[in-house]
Structure 1
């Protein structure tokens, strides 16, 4: 039988791609967002209203991806804390009142702050800012509702993700490095790094992240917490060089402006004790960089 998923933040970067993915896998997809045309209109600034809402359609899974991102948390901390923490509690209440049995919370590896060594699901989070702390507090609410209310919950902590936005015109996540570098290369003909760029980052395709979620919810009681890391860990410097190569294949030369500096040893490895039992991410970032640079170049010409 066709399963139904309700995705909050459906007009956001992750949410838009997730809606595409789950629809492609045969799920009935319902969208929750601020947009008046959404299947469920929600406003995380008014969490009590979300908790009280009712939906007439039977829903099998709620993916809660609506949240204040790192920039908003830095610029509007008090509002962001309310959205991330109270908003998640309201989403959990909504699930209880609407008999939605499974709940996935999209958290972040930033709950670890400045991690060291091997970082898996057994490591103790130590957030260093409102973004990481509010996500960790939201995670605690998921665990609380699982213990006390019988909800089946899954907390997912992805690494840095990439993917072509479902709606480029409405994309508000240009601070994400893969997106920012591609746009800077296409529009400015250069990529400027503020540091030597030797810091390492792990990258996961949003489609791989969605596939991991879909697989994990089928055995949700076994995996209440899941780190989702991609197959590649590269430096910011190397990412810029790969964008330069993607542009070269499109027939354009771009300049890389990168301060000199000595390479630093890797500080941590982001990994999972359980992911290989659930799903093996395989999408490489190079294909995304080529496709996205091509798309942005075509859009620039057509303007």
Structure 2
């Protein structure tokens, strides 16, 4: 297939291009000069004016992030609704019969209890509402010969295609390995007993590839799963172990002492789809993130 990918230089998008390029022709759309087609998703008119060639599929990896709402909330909603709408309409007009949007587990609401693809939606934060809005924009195009899917990963880890442009170091899968390597300490500002599923970008990309190749119909929601389901404290301990092996210095973990039940300690993120189970190894990625953080520290010294 010829597949148009947005966000190709980002965390998930770069892994997506690497995976899909093994079997398909890839075109990219974004704001960078390296993109095959340049346009800003916050400008629906620019998207609508694109002269796209015939394509078979759209994979949209350039969804909004928390930082977008912190810096420019109105622009973020413009991207999530009207920019995404112009994009998916343009893709369908260019012949796309498979539409994929990389969404978020947050569309299900607070991370408590058992959650799988049959769970009702309950987006609460602006970030979650924006992702749900984009899902709906995609979903209304999934009819007739056009199939669509929303992939909803939980806690994503992965290699950085562009470390200098990465904005999400505050997220646990990136702040913990960085702090472990540089500070030899990880500070958890809670009990750390909240459970998460930690999924690699390669697993998200594999889930997408599986769906694209499955002769899909209608609309689907998929929860790409990684091999590690555990608490935030469990993840911190793994980071500490990898850091000590790499640097030779022990890493101290500080957290709020649990004195009772913690909301989210019962969180069980699951999938009912055979297309969504991943197998990416966490530890090598953590080591590469730590090496990058240490190299960056040397360069800034």
Residue by residue over 1:182-228, the C-alpha shift from the partner in whole angstroms, topping out at 9 and shown as x without a partner, is 12222333222211211111111110110111011122217622121
User: Considering only aligned residues, what root-mean-square deviation do their CA atoms show, in Å?
Assistant: 2.1
- Out of 100, 109, 114, the residue aligned to residue 113 of structure 1 is 109
Q: Determine helix, strand or coil for the equivalent of 1:59.
A: coil
Name the counterpart of 1:131: 127
Contact 1:13-1:166 within 8 A present in 2 as well? yes
| Structure 1 residue runs without a partner (length 5+) | none
- Out of 199, 206, 210, the residue aligned to residue 215 of structure 1 is 210
Q: Determine helix, strand or coil for the equivalent of 2:141.
A: helix
Q: Does 1:27 align with 2:24?
A: yes
**Partner Cα distance (1:77, 1:166) in 2:** 26
**When the two structures are superposed, what TM-score results if normalisation uses the length of structure 1?**
0.90
Change (3 A) 1:206 1:289: same
Contact 2:180-2:251 within 8 A present in 1 as well? yes
**Partner Cα distance (2:284, 2:260) in 1:** 26
Q: Determine helix, strand or coil for the equivalent of 1:212.
A: helix
Change (3 A) 1:74 1:127: farther
Residue by residue over 1:225-279, the C-alpha shift from the partner in whole angstroms, topping out at 9 and shown as x without a partner, is 21212222111112112111111111233332222223636332111111x2x25
**Counterparts of 1:251-270 in structure 2 under 5 Å?**
251-262=248-259, 264=261, 266-270=265-269
Change (3 A) 1:176 1:116: closer
1:29 to partner: Cα distance: 2.2
Contact 1:199-1:264 within 8 A present in 2 as well? no
**Counterparts of 1:1-303 in structure 2 under 5 Å?**
3-23=1-21, 25-56=22-53, 58-147=54-143, 150-219=145-214, 220-221=216-217, 224-250=220-246, 251-262=248-259, 264=261, 266-274=265-273, 276=274, 278-301=275-298
Q: Determine helix, strand or coil for the equivalent of 2:151.
A: strand
**Partner Cα distance (1:29, 1:131) in 2:** 28
**When the two structures are superposed, what TM-score results if normalisation uses the length of structure 2?**
0.90
Q: Answer 1 or 2: which has greater helix percent.
A: 1
Contact 2:222-2:276 within 8 A present in 1 as well? no
Contact 2:11-2:201 within 8 A present in 1 as well? no
1:75 to partner: Cα distance: 4.5
**Partner Cα distance (2:240, 2:175) in 1:** 13
| Structure 2 residue runs without a partner (length 5+) | none
1:105 to partner: Cα distance: 0.8
1:34 to partner: Cα distance: 0.7
Contact 1:70-1:131 within 8 A present in 2 as well? yes
Q: Determine helix, strand or coil for the equivalent of 2:189.
A: coil
**Partner Cα distance (1:151, 1:90) in 2:** 16
Contact 2:147-2:219 within 8 A present in 1 as well? no
Q: Determine helix, strand or coil for the equivalent of 1:121.
A: coil
1:50 to partner: Cα distance: 0.5
**Partner Cα distance (2:221, 2:51) in 1:** 28
Residue-pair matches, total: 296
Change (3 A) 1:74 1:286: same
**Partner Cα distance (2:277, 2:211) in 1:** 12
Contact 1:216-1:223 within 8 A present in 2 as well? no
**Partner Cα distance (2:296, 2:234) in 1:** 26
